[in-house]
Amino acid sequence: MDMHFLDNPPPFLFFTGKGGVGKTSLACAHAVSLADRGRRVLLVSTDPASNVGQVFGINIGNHVTAVDAVPGLSALEIDPQAAAQLYRDKIVDPVRGVLPDAVVKSIEEQLSGACTTEIAAFDEFTALLTDPALVQGYDHIVFDTAPTGHTIRLLQLPGAWDNFLQDAKGDASCLGPLSGLEKQRDQYHAAVEALSDPARTRLVLVARAQRATLREAARTHEELAAIGLKQQYLVINGILPECEAAHDPLAAAVFKREQQALADMPAALQALPIDRVALKPFNLVGLDALRQLLTADESASGTESAPVPALHATDAPALSTLIDAIAADGHGLIMLMGKGGVGKTTLAAAVAVALAERGFPVHLTTSDPAAHLAETLAATSDRTLKHLSVSRIDPQAETARYRQDILDTKGKNLDAAGRALLEEDLRSPCTEEIAVFQAFSRAIREAGKKFVVMDTAPTGHTLLLLDATGAYHREVARQMSDPHLHFTTPMMQLQDPAQTKVLLVTLAETTPVLEAANLQADLRRAGIEPWAWIVNNSLVAAQPQSRLLRRRAVNELAQMDLVATHHAQRYAVVPLLTEEPVGVARLLALTHVSLQVSPAIAKRSSP
DSSP per residue, 62-89: SS-EE-TTSTTEEEEE--HHHHHHHHHH
Determine which one of 213, 511, 538, 591 is catalytic.
511
DSSP per residue, 143-161: EES---HHHHHHHTS-S-H
Active-site residue flag, 24: yes
Active-site residue flag, 467: no
Determine which one of 16, 18, 19, 22 is catalytic.
22
403 and 469 share a domain?
Answer: yes
**Contact predicate 425/171, CB 8 Å:** no
**Contact predicate 546/248, CB 8 Å:** yes
Active-site residue flag, 481: no
Distance CA(217)–CA(222), nearest Å, equals: 9
**Residue 535: per-residue pLDDT:** 94
204 and 337 share a domain?
Answer: no
CATH number at residue 414: 3.40.50.300
Domain assignment present for residue 310? The answer is no
**Residue 92: per-residue pLDDT:** 81
109 and 214 share a domain?
Answer: yes
Active-site residue flag, 25: yes
Domain assignment present for residue 311? The answer is no
**Contact predicate 480/379, CB 8 Å:** no
Secondary structure (3-state) at 337? strand
Distance CA(492)–CA(53), nearest Å, equals: 42
Domain assignment present for residue 301? The answer is no
Distance CA(381)–CA(394), nearest Å, equals: 25
Domain assignment present for residue 304? The answer is no
421 and 345 share a domain?
Answer: yes
Domain assignment present for residue 298? The answer is no
Determine which one of 23, 410, 450, 501 is catalytic.
23
Is beta strand 12-16 parallel, antiparallel or unpaired with respect to 140-144? Answer: parallel
Is beta strand 73-77 parallel, antiparallel or unpaired with respect to 65-66? Answer: antiparallel
267 and 353 share a domain?
Answer: no
487 and 557 share a domain?
Answer: yes
Determine which one of 16, 19, 33, 47 is catalytic.
47
289 and 323 share a domain?
Answer: no
**Could you tell me which residues are beta bridge partners of residue 502?**
335
473 and 524 share a domain?
Answer: yes
Active-site residue flag, 20: yes
Domain assignment present for residue 162? The answer is yes
Secondary structure (3-state) at 504? strand
User: What is the extent of the structural domain holding 440?
Assistant: 319-601
Q: pTM to 2 decimals?
A: 0.80
**Contact predicate 524/564, CB 8 Å:** no
332 and 289 share a domain?
Answer: no
Domain assignment present for residue 303? The answer is no
* Amino acid (1-letter code) at residue 447: A
504 and 593 share a domain?
Answer: yes
- Mean pLDDT per 10-residue interval, the chain, length 607 residues: 82 85 87 92 77 76 85 87 80 81 75 75 78 86 80 63 49 55 70 86 92 87 86 93 91 94 94 92 73 63 53 69 94 88 87 92 78 53 72 84 84 78 75 78 82 81 60 39 46 82 92 87 87 93 88 87 92 89 79 56 40
**Contact predicate 195/149, CB 8 Å:** no
Distance CA(564)–CA(603), nearest Å, equals: 8
What backbone phi and psi angles, to 5 degrees, belong to 322? -70, -40
Distance CA(407)–CA(75), nearest Å, equals: 45
Q: For the chain, report the end-to-end CA distance as a whole number of angstroms.
A: 51
CB atoms within 10 A of CB 227: 15
Q: What's the structural domain count of the chain?
A: 2
- The DSSP 8-state label assigned to residue 570 in this structure reads S
Domain assignment present for residue 308? The answer is no
Ramachandran quadrant class, 357 (left: phi over 0; alpha: psi -120 to 50; beta: rest): alpha
**Residue 498: per-residue pLDDT:** 85
357 and 485 share a domain?
Answer: yes
493 and 427 share a domain?
Answer: yes
Cβ-in-10-Å burial (0-12, 13-18, 19+) of 308 comes to exposed
Determine which one of 17, 19, 20, 113 is catalytic.
20
Active-site residue flag, 183: no
Determine which one of 16, 25, 173, 321 is catalytic.
25
